Amino acid sequence: MDLLQFVRGCTFDDFLLTPQLGVVPSRDPSTIDLTTRFTSRVPLRRPIVSANMDTITRAAMASVLAEEGGIGVIDRGFRTGDIAPQVAEISAVKRTQHGIITDPHTIDEHGRIADARRLMDHTGVGTLVVIDARRRLQGLLTERDIRFVPATTGVAERMTPRDRLVVHTGTISLADAEHLMTRQKIKKLPLVNPDGTVLGLITAKDLVKHRDHPFATRDSRGRLQVAAAVGATGDFLERAIEVHNAGADVIVIDIAHGHSLVMDQAIQRLRHRLGSVELVAGNVATSDGARFLLDRGVDAIKVGIGPGGGCTTRLTTNFGVPQVEALVQCRLAVGDRVPLIADGGVKRDGSVAEAFLFGGDTVMLGSAFAGTEETPGETVLKPVLMPESQKIVRVPFKVFRGMASIGAVRDRLDLEDAGARELEALGAEGLEVSVPARGPVRAVIHDMLKHLCSAISYGGAESLADLRTKFWSNPEQYLVRLSRAARAESFER
Ligand code: XMP
């Protein structure tokens, strides 16, 4: 079968997949391998990515995504030149949990309680490592040690001194640390070098988080991983350098038309300054576009021109490629040399499996997460007429908007005073809508993963990777192109 010919002009709702002999004993997501790649060097245990949109991904969303085994991309929807807010979001994700804290907050043994209080307030940490002038461990000082204590009291008077602490010399695995801390009934384990200088700190709180989220996407220091979006012009280079310094694990150059000379320049400049940083670029939707980015050495390619829920590009320009065709074109162009991110157009969980089958290694979601607790923005109560009772009830809503919507562009460019004409001249390519406020995003992700595992079972595969291998080795066995009536039977409820 010529797969590309078969899917020309088609998108998710054009197909069903034929059920095959099921081989997995259970559809439980904790037992089915969903491992994939976000970028060349960032594997994920779950193929889910939250979109870099200012009504979707900030620290709260990105932290949950990483805890659940996916990753979030913090948007660049802050005013041009105003880089600190994005840096703060990245830092917040990196601070939520650790393995070994290699740079714990420290205080000098000759300090005062007032200094300790100030440092605890400023950093939000409850335990300070007390050191001497040569950074040798002298003790630990916790919030409890300084409660109700006069500000002028010396730190050394209140700390638990080193000879009363359990201390480990050298580095240690988290499993061994947990063992030791359980045996010794301690909540904090300082690590020191043989000369007594501080090497790190392990806390029971972090170990519990590791246990609670076994699939989490973590860096080599046990912190959650997070990506950050930048543009291709303006402050993009400075922004990329700062978010990278703040700990962003992946930089995403995200522009509407990624197959462009502007992108070429941006990649070159970014590589020149940041060397081998994990770099995603997009968006493209054609084999030429994908090859263009592959040739420029990116570590993943974002695919999708116009399928997004908040997007009006196709309406306003008539350019775009139906998302399934776009994915197949890009996959055929790059093979397995670079992962693809299927970005946009997923309106129901069934399309997650399709996005993966047709070529995505991960699926980027915007509107699917809209309205959840972790999305940024206010919840507002709006009066709604209930059709059955004809009563008006007040329903909580949140705003979801395309990043090229007039509202998002106005906020980003600081155009508070711009008139309607000037805004129109910006050529908005996005919608702004109110969506009902929902509960935590974790529940949405869990449902999605359960449905993905069911799809693997129906597809006769053992794992996500196996499903795709089976599909690509014989797409004919799977693909059913739908008639209009079949589409209505399948998706209209
Ligand atoms: P979903 O369908 O998951 O798509 O909401 C999310 C993706 O939509 C894209 N996006 C836009 N595309 N104009 C566009 O042409 C916009 O204003 C816009 N905002 C978001 C983006 O790729 C996102 O990841």
Contacts of 240 (CB under 8 A, 6+ apart): 228, 230, 251, 270, 273, 274, 277
The mean pLDDT of 237-252, rounded to a whole number, is 97
What is residue 310's predicted lDDT score, i.e. its pLDDT?
A: 86
Is the confidence at residue 82, as pLDDT, over 70?
yes
CATH of domain 106-210: 3.10.580.10
The mean pLDDT of 95-112, rounded to a whole number, is 92
Ligand 1 and 311: CB distance under 6 A: yes
- pLDDT bucket at 408, cuts 50 / 70 / 90: confident
What is residue 415's predicted lDDT score, i.e. its pLDDT?
A: 52
Report whether the peptide linkage leading into residue 283 is cis, meaning its omega lies within 30 degrees of zero: yes
What is residue 182's predicted lDDT score, i.e. its pLDDT?
A: 94
User: What is the enclosing helix (H) or strand (E) of 63?
Assistant: helix 59-67
What is residue 419's predicted lDDT score, i.e. its pLDDT?
A: 57
> Which residue among 341, 403, 412, 435 is best mutated to probe the pocket of ligand 1, counting the most ligand atoms within 8 A of its Cβ?
403
Q: Does domain 3-97+216-374+441-491 have CATH number 3.20.20.70?
A: yes
Indicate the range of 25-39, 90-104, 170-184, 405-419 predicted with least confidence.
405-419
Q: What is the pLDDT of residues 129-151, one digit of tens each?
A: 999 999 999 999 999 999 999 99
Which of the two residues, 431 and 237, has the higher pLDDT score? Answer: 237
Nearest-CA residue for ligand 1 atom 11 is 311
Position in ligand 1 atom list of the atom nearest CA 431: 17
Sign of CA dihedral 133, 135, 138, 141: positive
Which of the two residues, 417 and 357, has the higher pLDDT score? Answer: 357
Q: Exposed/middle/buried for 211, CB within 10 Å: 0-12, 13-18, 19+?
A: exposed
Report, as residue numbers or ranges, the catalytic residues: 311
Q: How much helix, strand and coil, in percent to the nearest 5, is found in the chain?
A: 40, 20, 40
Q: Which of 477, 445, 444 is nearest to 460 (CA)?
A: 477
Ligand 1 and 125: CB distance under 6 A: no
- How many Å lie between the centroid of ligand 1 and the Cα of residue 60? 20
CA angle 12, 13, 16 (to 5 degrees): 90
The mean pLDDT of 345-361, rounded to a whole number, is 97
- pLDDT bucket at 425, cuts 50 / 70 / 90: low
Ligand 1 and 138: CB distance under 6 A: no
- Domain layout of the chain by residue ranges: 3-97+216-374+441-491, 106-210
Position in ligand 1 atom list of the atom nearest CA 367: 5
Q: What is the pLDDT of residues 260-286, one digit of tens each?
A: 999 999 999 999 999 999 999 999 999
Ligand 1 and 309: CB distance under 6 A: yes
Mean pLDDT, all residues of the chain: 94
Ligand 1 and 306: CB distance under 6 A: yes
Tokens of 430: 């996005």
Q: What is the pLDDT of residues 210-238, one digit of tens each?
A: 999 999 999 988 999 999 999 999 999 99
Instruction: Give dist(CA 1, CA 413) in Å, integer.
Output: 49
